[in-house]
Amino acid sequence: MDISKWPMERIMQLPVEAFGTRFAITFSKSIVGAEISHFFSELTLPNRCILHELSVGSATTSLNVAATSLEVGFALGQKAVTTAEQFNALEQLIPGFDELALTIKIVRPPMYLTRLKMPINAQGRHLVCRIRNGTIFTTQAIVGLVFSAVPREIPDWMVSSESDQLDEMIRLLRIGVKIR
């Protein structure tokens, strides 16, 4: 069934299995002291995509594990950035996340956000990430985000009223059976 003209609100009501193949964008860098690093993904995001998961992790050279903290922000852009002003001018991927990270810091990573299922209007832009080491120690920062494209077609059974058939199809999808 063609759902390319459906409004995003209706598409988001589909089961997570309808969103197809996922792809990850990851960044990793050793950050010295209070350094700020910017990353630019080589992959272009689809015009409309779904953010499913986000994770932030780190390892530090300090013996004091509690000393680890990172400030992380995400945005959408067409080219790499090198300054805070350039990053702040970009459209934020998760509005308010940067301010939240600045306020509370991500202390003692890892942090995992799963089952987000957050629609993103990327318009073919790239992911830009800013990471600031919140300590004086050298920290290995690791950031990962998992996306999928917004489905354009789904099997008819996903919107049929026969719930037994729907339940069986969802069960088959969850165990990895490909259905065409």
- pLDDT tens digits along 54-106: 988 877 766 555 556 778 889 999 999 999 899 999 999 987 776 655 544 55
What was the pLDDT predicted at 175? 81
- Other CB atoms within 10 Å distance of the CB of residue 156: 9
pLDDT tens, position by position, 114-130:
888 999 999 999 999 99
| Residue 162 confidence (pLDDT) above 70 | no
Cis peptide before 110 (omega within 30 of 0): yes
Mean pLDDT value across the chain: 83
What was the pLDDT predicted at 91? 94
What was the pLDDT predicted at 179? 65
What was the pLDDT predicted at 103? 47
Residues whose CB is less than 8 angstroms from the CB of residue 97 and which lie 6 or more positions away in sequence, other chains included: 72, 73, 74
Q: Comparing C-alpha atoms, which of 174, 169, 168 is closest to residue 154?
A: 169
Contact at 8 Å (CB) between 13 and 3? no
Q: How confident is the model over 41-52, as a mean pLDDT?
A: 94
Residue 108's pLDDT band (cuts 50, 70, 90): low
Q: What's the rounded Cα separation, in Å, for the pair 164 and 168?
A: 6
With 0-12 CB in 10 A as exposed, 13-18 as middle and 19+ as buried, what is 29?
middle
CATH class of 21-150: mainly beta
**What spatial distance separates the first Cα and last Cα of the chain, rounded to whole Å?**
11
Structure tokens at 147: 């996306």
Phi, psi for 116 (deg, rounded to 5) = -70, -50
